[in-house]
Chains A and B, each alone.
Chain A
Amino acid sequence: MVQFALWDIFTFLLGAMRWTVLLSLIAFVGGGVLGMGLLFLRFAQWRGAGIAVAWYVQIFQGTPLLMQLFLVYFGLALLGMDTSPLVSAAICLTLYASAYLTEIWRGCVNSVHRGQWEASASLALDFTQQMRHVILPQAARVAIAPTVGFMVQIIKGTALASVIGFVELTKAGQMISNATYQPFLAYTFVGLLYFALCYPLSRWSQKLESHRLA
């Protein structure tokens, strides 16, 4: 039986963690951009657009992320697209993040007093100008804490990408566990590394929240 030094396990996991971070960043940035687009659609008062976005959000909130990953992974293959696990996971997590972020931000926009819409409208600003110069700067103050908090959800969500064969932190832990027959040790390391990623973000989010309420 091959003996693995703890250090080897650790460096292997650390290497895989880079993919967790990369996937999280793609999902967060992509989801943020798409979510912002959806936010504009939701408030633009175009016929049907608001309802369409609401349904989009409901679909992603009402189904398990694991199932969404399967559907995207196998769905893209069915469409004849030869996609890597990374691309599938990135697309799926981007869509997932966009749905949640647009919903989080919708609440923040709604928290801006109606008088701000009315005052900017009566100054003849158009919708995009109202959003960009009046509403979003105020909504952003409220949005920062829950948005950072949601980043933690995304990082943990990337673990599911292991099931479509993407080698990120969880999948790497699985591989170590299979090779060493020491699943508890392997997953303890995995858990610690996730915690090291998420804990600072959680603390930051809490700090922002208490700062806002202070």
Chain B
Amino acid sequence: MTDTNSPDFALVDIRGLHKRFGSTEVLKGIDLQVRRKEVVCIIGKSGSGKSTLLRCINGLETFEQGSLSIDGQALRHGDRNAMRELRQQVGMIFQSFNLFPHLGAGRNVMLAPSLVKGLPKEESRARAQALLARVGLDGMFDRLPDQLSGGQQQRVAIARALAMAPSVLLCDEITSALDPELVGEVLQVVEMLADEGMTLILVTHEMAFARKVSDRIVFMHQGLIHESGSPDDIFKHPKTPELQQFLSALRD
């Protein structure tokens, strides 16, 4: 038995992962282990497979080869119950927020805990209120998503994911759809989560942010992890020409 509390235990354990869309292989053998409380940013050009990799982790995409386990549980696509168990461990924040537009902010947060965990209404309401306050949206409980700014919507989405008390949170370019002046408020919340010890895997184009919050940065190129290391390794001493090129393109 592996000790799941040991600091070396891989909460997210991906081995030899291959993913194909038709005849195009978008992931060509990914190995990635993420420890508890680790913050990992995935960077790379669009089309390098980073979003697909993230979507594989909570089963939104299937994969053909390799294995993936969360907290020791292997991901099994065919088994709906196993998938739901796994998804309770894995929260996801999307680029386009994907709030439920017919429900107010608070009910967006309450929905899954009441339905999936059977939390009593009062309790789930109180928790939703606390979570909204935590992401800086006190008093917005009854606002519909339409009545919120993009930054506020994304913070509701974060509260909604946190309500399930996941052991890892996946963030898929969560600031890419935001107006520049709203990016900061969302990143602040993510930084707070990182400081509190949440395990985070982020796909991001915000390099300054990645550098600041990450324990480790993974550079993906053509469906493979091309280079990975500490923020300093990646940004100050990039080894491969592809990463050097990627970084210099960003500076221009």
Contact = CB atoms under 8 A, between A and B. Distances in A.
Interface in A105-130: 113, 115-116, 118-127, 129
Contacts of A203: none
Nearest to A112: B101
B101 A115 contact: no
Contact of A125 (B58, B90, B92, B116): B116
Given A129-B115, A133-B111, A133-B115, A122 B90 contact: yes
Interface string B65-82: 000000000000000100
Given A124-B84, A124-B87, A126-B84, A119 B115 contact: no
A115 B88 contact: no
Contacts of A113: 98
Nearest to A128: B115
B44 interface: no
Given A116-B100, A137-B102, A123 B112 contact: yes
A119 B161 CA distance: 9
B160 interface: yes
Contact of A116 (B87, B98, B161): B98
A138 interface: yes
A122 B100 CA distance: 13
B84 A118 contact: no
A214 to B, nearest CB: 15
Interface in B84-127: 84-85, 87-88, 90-92, 94, 96, 98-102, 111-112, 115-116
A116 B103 CA distance: 12
Nearest to B102: A137
A147 to B, nearest CB: 18
Contact of B87 (A121, A129, A137, A141): A121
Interface in B123-158: 157
B164 interface: yes
Contact of B164 (A116, A123, A129, A141): A123
Interface residues of B, number: 26
B207 interface: no
B192 interface: no
A122 B92 contact: yes
A124 B111 contact: no
B116 A138 contact: no
A210 B91 CA distance: 39
A122 B101 CA distance: 17
Contact of A122 (B58, B96, B102): B58
Contacts of B102: 137-138, 141
B111 A123 contact: yes
A124 B164 contact: yes
A139 to B, nearest CB: 10
B60 A124 contact: no
Contacts of B80: 126-127
Interface string A97-109: 0000000000000
Contacts of A129: 115-116
A124 B88 contact: yes
B60 A118 contact: yes
Which of B58, B59, B101, B160 is most buried by chain A, counting CB atoms within 10 A of its CB?
A: B101
23 contacts: A115-B94, A115-B96, A116-B98, A119-B99, A119-B157, A121-B59, A121-B60, A122-B58, A122-B87, A122-B92, A123-B111, A123-B112, A123-B160, A124-B116, A125-B111, A125-B112, A125-B116, A126-B80, A129-B116, A134-B111, A137-B102, A138-B102, A141-B102
Interface of B: 58-60, 80, 84-85, 87-88, 90-92, 94, 96, 98-102, 111-112, 115-116, 157, 160-161, 164
